[in-house]
């Protein structure tokens, strides 16, 4: 099927840009200064907020970046790790991404570290958070002299009657993508020692590039083909290693909501993903396009009669092997994963749009998601 004559809507990207632009400069400067001064940054988040945080703050230069699930994290929780981190580093920044400011694990970690700082009077820690709700448990950490909070709009808080919507919650694409863009450009400025004032300029330039390549991607024949495949009785597995796995995870979570609503499933590659069958979809992400395990997954999928799509950073073995379609995002490895996330972001929304056009009855919360995410 050829691409649609009418361009598919990606209006939510304008909302992402507007929200990031509206961040308070004084809040952001304090946030930037804390991260720039730290020689160790500990990342905390859940779900897609966690993935956005990991993608945005990955590949930092001259800083140690840790997560609490790392094998070498020095403790079972932040309280046990804090004294060890103090001995090893001069300045430690806890960096939290939580739209609601009430997410379970981040809220617990912030409370534990806050109690530790006040009990020990440590001056080595700062708690830095991005939230959409400043009156939340995490948002209120800004009241402490070691706390710094950036308010980023984008999280929807609207009353809906649908039980499905209440159970699953709105897919806060605008907030998650906004936090990714802000974190990505903050990291780049710190890596380059360009100063906090360079971040807004970087965001403006990147926003224009994002819109350009997302529009290019959604106009391709391979994008239309994957929508054709997704609306059939099929399963999709998103795959990647290292930073690419976080991109795959964000997309798989969002696709799962839609695929489950029509009786199918979306998976993240790994031990719990099903074995390939004819008609199933495998979508792989790799900057180099030469990652051996992904090439093996590709080979197995094709042998089973499935479809293989990919997003890569260059013409490569994987792009050539992805016979169903491959999209190339020419960029450095540092920016590839952020851009791949944005490129994939409209896919679940356009699948909902396609199914709705077919007259398929979908849960109310998914239709509300379409209404508030795709349109202006």
* Whole-structure pTM value: 0.91
Do the domains 12-208 and 213-373 sit in the same CATH topology, yes or no? yes
**Structure confidence by residue, pLDDT tens digits, 262-321:** 889 999 998 889 998 999 999 999 999 999 999 999 999 999 999 999 999 999 999 999
Spans of all domains in the chain:
12-208, 213-373
> What are the angstrom distances between the C-alpha of 205 and each of 157, 199, 237, 273?
30, 10, 32, 38
| Statement: residue 3 has pLDDT above 60 | no
Report the length, in residues, of the chain.
376
Q: What is the pLDDT of residues 356-376, one digit of tens each?
A: 888 887 777 677 666 555 444
CATH class of 213-373: alpha beta
Could you tell me what percent of the chain has a pLDDT over 90? 78
Q: What is the mean pLDDT of the chain?
A: 90
* One-character DSSP codes across 268-296: ESSTTSPPP-TT-EEEEEESSS--HHHHH
149 SS3 class: strand
Q: How confident is the model at residue 156, as a pLDDT?
A: 63
Number of DSSP helices (H) and strands (E) in the chain, helices first: 15, 10
Give the Cα separation of 258 and 355 in Å (integer): 10
pLDDT score at 372:
53
Alpha-carbon gap, residue 142 to 149, rounded angstroms = 5
Q: What would the pLDDT profile of 243-259 be if each residue is shown by its tens digit?
A: 999 999 999 998 998 89
Whether the pLDDT of residue 97 is over 60: the answer is yes
Query: Mean pLDDT highest for which of 152-156, 252-256, 334-338, 362-366?
Result: 334-338
User: Cα(first)–Cα(last) distance of the chain, in Å?
Assistant: 27
By mean pLDDT, which of 85-89, 167-171, 273-277, 292-296 is the weakest?
167-171
Phi, psi values for residue 325, rounded to 5°: 155, 140
Query: Residue 81: which region, alpha, beta or left (left: phi > 0; alpha: psi -120 to 50)?
Result: alpha
What is the average per-residue pLDDT within 32-44?
97
127-144 average pLDDT score: 97
Mean pLDDT of 135-158: 90
Separation of CA 20 from chain center: 15
User: Could you tell me the fold of the domain covering 12-208?
Assistant: Rossmann fold (3.40.50)
């Amino acid at each position: 099927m050829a691409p649609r004559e009418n361009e598919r809507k990606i209006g939510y990207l304008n909302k992402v840009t507007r929200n990031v632009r509206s961040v308070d400069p004084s809040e952001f400067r304090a946030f930037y200064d804390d991260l720039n001064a730290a020689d160790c940054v500990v990342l905390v988040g859940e779900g897609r907020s966690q993935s956005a945080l990991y993608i945005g703050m990955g590949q930092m230069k001259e800083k140690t970046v840790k997560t609490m699930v790392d094998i070498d994290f020095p403790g079972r929780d932040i309280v046990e790790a804090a004294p060890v981190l103090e001995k090893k580093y001069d300045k430690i920044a806890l960096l939290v991404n939580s739209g609601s400011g009430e997410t379970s694990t981040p809220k617990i970690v912030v409370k534990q570290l806050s109690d530790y700082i006040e009990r020990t009077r440590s001056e080595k820690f700062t708690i830095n958070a991005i939230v959409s709700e400043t009156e939340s448990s995490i948002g209120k950490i800004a009241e402490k002299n070691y706390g710094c909070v950036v308010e980023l709009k984008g999280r929807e808080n609207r009353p809906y009657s649908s039980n499905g919507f209440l159970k699953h919650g709105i897919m806060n694409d605008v907030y998650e993508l906004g936090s990714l863009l802000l974190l990505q450009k903050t990291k780049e400025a710190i890596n380059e020692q360009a100063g906090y004032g360079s971040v807004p300029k970087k965001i403006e330039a990147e926003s224009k590039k994002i819109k350009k390549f997302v529009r290019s991607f959604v106009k391709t024949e391979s994008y239309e083909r994957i929508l054709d495949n997704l609306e059939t009785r099929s399963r999709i597995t998103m795959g990647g290693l290292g930073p690419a796995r976080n991109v795959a995870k964000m997309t798989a979570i969002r696709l799962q909501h839609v695929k489950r609503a029509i009786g199918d499933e979306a998976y993240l590659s790994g031990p719990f993903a099903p074995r390939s069958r004819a008609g199933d979809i495998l979508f792989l992400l790799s900057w180099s396009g030469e990652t051996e395990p992904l090439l093996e997954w590709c080979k197995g999928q094709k042998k089973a009669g499935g479809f293989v799509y990919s997003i890569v950073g260059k013409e490569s073995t994987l792009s050539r092997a992805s016979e169903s379609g491959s999209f190339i995002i020419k960029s450095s490895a540092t920016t590839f994963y952020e851009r791949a996330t944005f490129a994939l972001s409209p896919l679940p929304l356009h699948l909902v749009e396609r199914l709705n056009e077919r007259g398929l009855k979908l849960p109310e919360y998914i239709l509300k998601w379409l209404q508030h995410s795709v349109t202006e």
